[in-house]
Structure 1
Amino acid sequence: MRFASHRLRTAVSGLTAATALALGVTVVAAPSASAAVGSSACTKNIKDATYMVNNYAGTTMQSGPGYKYKDVKFLELGTDVRVYCETYKNGYNWYYGKAGKKKGWVVSRDFH
């Protein structure tokens, strides 16, 4: 009995996948909010700019333009960030750049 029910489940799973393919259905998992975004979220390029962190408490470089993304690196006061581009998200301008060997997003209010 167990063998028969396993064969039935396998057959149904295969039939479901084959039906989805035949209908041209694509199943894609949505990215999580903590996934790295990189420069793909940029809306404006910035040429030859280096900004210094001026927040006395320092700031955190994020993997995407927003506080919901993973922390990439803590940046202390005075840290230079080579900035490549920016975007506007949730009421803030966010800059994408590189500090040391790490790339990520920093909120504009922590610069200049």
Structure 2
Amino acid sequence: MFVAYVTVTVLAAVFTGGAAVTYLIGHPYPKAQLGMKRLPRSWGPRLGLALAAGTVGQLAGFAVPLLGTLAGVGLVLYFVGALAAHLRVGSRQLVGPAVFLVFVAAALVLNAGYHGLW
């Protein structure tokens, strides 16, 4: 259980951390995604900070389990919102946010299971 918990959490942190960096450095891809979803570009840095905070929280969860759980819940809500934003504008590009959602949800479940939060 421990190996799965660490592996999935680190993979989720790599994915979300990478996404956070793309938002924070002003990469064209997140800007295009915001435009496609008809969201203001000013949300880019805020979304990047939310992803960065979730990434740090997940990794800090190895030392403080409650923090990892809260970060996991926040990231699950973030990616549910991302899926909803895609669906709202009729986008069929759902694989990306769905993969992120699966990884952060799996990390949350493994965190809760490993630390006996069930």
Output the TM-score relative to the length of structure 2. 0.21
Q: Considering fraction of residues, name the structure with more helix.
A: 2
Output the TM-score relative to the length of structure 1. 0.22
Q: Considering fraction of residues, name the structure with more strand.
A: 1
